[in-house]
């Protein structure tokens, strides 16, 4: 594998970038779910957040799956 991003073929850059975005979206969604659980358990102050966080997690997951498509099929 080339040592520098600029030296990588465009197709490989696209695959790596798409996978990074997919993982970032999933990480955001997982953190939103964890925060919701912490609020429900009383560890964090609940200001109507658990439902909003779960909605956010669902939106992140739905839009990342729709917008990016499967890796390697650009």
Residue 41 lies in a domain: yes
Residue 39 lies in a domain: yes
Range of the domain at 44: 29-69
Q: What is the pLDDT of residue 15?
A: 92
Q: What is the pTM of this model?
A: 0.64
How many structural domains is the chain composed of?
A: 1
Residue 5 lies in a domain: no
Report pLDDT digits (tens) over 3-47.
Answer: 788 899 999 999 999 999 889 988 888 888 888 888 888 887 777
**Contact (Cβ atoms closer than 8 angstroms) between residue 18 and residue 71:** yes
The pLDDT confidence band at residue 73, using thresholds 50, 70 and 90, is low
Distance set, CA 9 to CA 12, 13, 28, 72, 73 (Å):
5, 6, 29, 13, 15
Cα–Cα nearest to 22, from 54, 55, 66, 52: 66
* CA atoms of 64 and 44, how far apart (whole Å): 28
């Amino acid at each position: 594998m080339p040592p520098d991003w600029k030296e990588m073929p465009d197709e490989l850059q696209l695959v790596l970038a798409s996978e990074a975005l997919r993982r970032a979206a999933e990480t955001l969604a997982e953190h939103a779910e964890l925060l919701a659980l912490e609020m429900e358990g009383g560890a964090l102050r609940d200001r109507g957040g658990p439902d909003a966080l779960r909605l956010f997690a669902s939106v992140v997951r739905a839009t990342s799956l729709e917008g990016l498509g499967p890796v390697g099929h650009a």
